[in-house]
Amino acid sequence: MAESSETVLSSILAIAAHDLASEYHSNDVGSQTYHQMSKMYQNKSLALLAKELKTLSASSSSGSDVSASSAFTLASVIILCNNEFMQPQGAGWRVHLAAAREVILAAKNRSHPHKQLTSIEEFLMIEFYEASVWANLTTFDDSSEDVKPFPHSKENAVFTDFVRVIDEITQLERLRFRSQSHSFPYHSGPTPAVIMQINSARYSMLHLAETINFHAEEDRRTFQLVVLMYYHATLIYSCQALGEPPTRDFNAHSSRNEILKCLQSLSGMRIDLFAQDLVWPLFMAGTELRGNPEAHNLIRGGFHSVMQFSRTLDRARVLSFLESWWKTPGAYVSWIDMARTQYRSSHCDFLVV
């Protein structure tokens, strides 16, 4: 795609330069040089994107040429969104997600998809969907209700089954909150359908682990442990978002302990291959660890390993939120309550990625 689209090429160069800048200390000349380079390519890509979006919105055609142009535009937007994720304190990634949503929704009206780009578009759809789910997890305004077209293909998808359940739990939690605010009756606790989906995601992922040709058997075992951590993290979230104490606390604490066991089992194993997938289980386990300084150190160590192997992204702020959560026992019913209450503050505007 980069060979066929200057916009895509500029977006790739922007994120590549940004990544290289992170290899240097912030005061180093290398960091400054690559940051300037990243900004230059980003601005170039944005200028080209503005023209492409204007052309797409004005086009009434549904031919393969328009389809190809749409795919290139979507790729550029998703790449720039990931570029913003590397330093997500600003609102740039939200703008790119909104643009990606418009491109995807407009593309639904096409009757002639570009066959050569179909698999790439499906991958981009997965990237958009998952980014939207993680964004909505800690977003508490009306934008979290925006449509997120779910990708039909599971090719190139790994944890998407879990992400889909997380998305459903978030929507149910928002509905529950609105129902309580208006004194409407609402079912308490994770529904059987949600639990079934979580179990199904675990089964499909463990089955996938048996089919992947890993370089070493230890890598397969590491992947299986990460799957189990994801499973228990999603169970914790379902309890926190939809359950009531004491059942909620008992079930969540049980899954928290399982995550800590898996984390300890990962000690000494290669985690660099899957470091980026540990943020969700580390965060969920951390939200159930008030008053446990020893376990706090384990979570901190996990986050530092993730940032060492898979860049900082917003992980330092996720850990900072956990630190604040640990220091405010009894002040909030749950971390969701705390994040919702302080949503407009920079402290609670974070991404679990």
Per-residue model confidence as pLDDT tens digits over 18-72:
999 988 888 899 999 999 999 999 999 999 999 988 887 776 555 555 567 788 8
Q: Name the token pair of 124.
A: 């981009």
Q: What is the mean pLDDT of residues 278-296?
A: 95
Question: Amino acid letter at 315?
Answer: R
Question: Distance (Å, rounded) from C-alpha 229 to C-alpha 259?
Answer: 5
Tokens for 320, please give them.
């900072």
Question: What whole-number distance in Å separates Cα of residue 158 and Cα of residue 207?
Answer: 11
Q: Is the CB of residue 244 less than 8 Å from the CB of residue 188?
A: yes
Cα–Cα dist 163/198, whole Å: 10
Other beta carbons within 10 Å of 141: 9
Nearest CA to 128 out of 96, 174, 84 is that of: 96
What tens digit of pLDDT does each residue of 73-107 get?
A: 999 999 999 888 887 566 678 888 888 888 887 77
Cα 240 to Cα 202, 253, 260, distances in angstroms: 19, 11, 18
Q: Which tops the pLDDT comparison, 122 or 182?
A: 122
- Whether residue 195 is predicted with pLDDT greater than 90 in this model: the reply is yes
Give the span between the Cα atoms of 320 and 262, in whole angstroms: 23
Burial readout 196-226 (b: 16 or more C-beta within 10 A, e: otherwise): ebbeebbeebeeebeeeeeeeeebeebbebb
Domain boundaries of the chain, sorted by first residue: 1-152, 158-353
pLDDT for 66 equals 59
Share of the chain above pLDDT 90, in %: 53
Q: Given this model, what pLDDT does residue 237 score?
A: 96
Cβ partners under 8 Å of residue 32, min gap 6: 21
> What average pLDDT does the structure give for the chain?
86
- Structure confidence at residue 13 (pLDDT): 96
For residue 347, is pLDDT > 70?
no
Please state which of the ranges 4-18, 46-60, 297-311, 318-332 shows the lowest mean pLDDT: 46-60
pLDDT at 118: 73
Give the global pTM: 0.89
**Alpha-carbon distance 256 to 108, whole Å?**
41
H or E segment to which residue 229 belongs: helix 217-242
Distances (CA, A) of 218 to 64, 90, 223, 268, 274: 45, 39, 9, 11, 12
Who has greater pLDDT, 321 or 190?
Answer: 321
Least confident interval from 33-37, 183-187, 192-196: 183-187
How many Å apart are CA 257 and CA 289, to the nearest integer?
Answer: 10
